[in-house]
Structure 1
């Protein structure tokens, strides 16, 4: 468990669908907020050189509160409930927490057949008739 268990547990948590969905949304909202901030920064540099003022009306982010959406997504990430973490917490509450964690996260042991070779789980890509 010490050699591979922690890495496997962390990998399981990082690759949960709940985490992946919110992290992807967080990246998208941060990108949009950055684009809008960059566009507005550019306008602030360009406008002093021209008599007519440029605005963000033609921008796809005109009237969109990208900062608010980003803050809401960060809040959603901070309040995210990941089922794998809840399973770990349940295991840690028990006296035999190491055994329970092993049951959850250790890979299954491959069984050997009578001939001494490891059992093929039918993953060769061919179907036997």
Structure 2
């Protein structure tokens, strides 16, 4: 698979701006949910030692449904379809899919081709039915 640049294609999909944005949003919502859970757990541990009961009213998360925001962002990530995936699917539907993928994700190293072949030697780049 490395010889056919699958790793490059996977890297392009993972580095897609849509994916990076979705992952950052997911991390931020997970961090908020963790902070809220930690704050509430701390209150639960501290309250037995004091006569007055502490609440989460001073927390920035008071009255905010952090968990629902986290679930929404997880669902959005699971339904994410980066444009790079659509481009790859279009290439794979063509008879000369290898050549189209090469053109789509052409690298600067002109002597590297699929299978490690040099100067155009190697696969024909067409599907056989």
Q: Same fold (TM over 0.5)?
A: yes
- Partner residue of 1:126? none
Over residues 72-112 of structure 1, what are the superposed CA-to-partner deviations in whole Å (9 max), with x where a residue is unaligned? 000110111200000111111122211111111131455xx
Q: Distance in 2 between matches of 1:18 and 1:100?
A: 23
Of residues 30-39 and 40-49 in structure 1, the stretch that sits farther from structure 2 once superposed is 40-49
Q: Distance in 2 between matches of 1:32 and 1:44?
A: 18
Give the root-mean-square deviation of aligned CA atoms.
1.8
Q: Distance in 1 between matches of 2:32 and 2:49?
A: 27
Q: Distance in 2 between matches of 1:39 and 1:68?
A: 18
Structure 1: 4+ residue segments shifted above 4 A: none
Stretches of structure 1 lacking an aligned partner (at least 5 in a row): 111-129
Quote how far apart the aligned CAs of 1:59 are: 0.7
TM-score with structure 2 setting the length:
0.79
Stretches of structure 2 lacking an aligned partner (at least 5 in a row): 111-129
Q: Distance in 1 between matches of 2:104 and 2:2?
A: 14
Quote how far apart the aligned CAs of 1:52 are: 0.8
| 2:75 maps to 1:75 | yes
Count, aligned residues: 111
The change in CA–CA distance for 1:52 and 1:109 in structure 2 (over 3 A counts) is closer
Quote how far apart the aligned CAs of 1:5 are: 1.6
Q: Distance in 1 between matches of 2:11 and 2:56?
A: 42
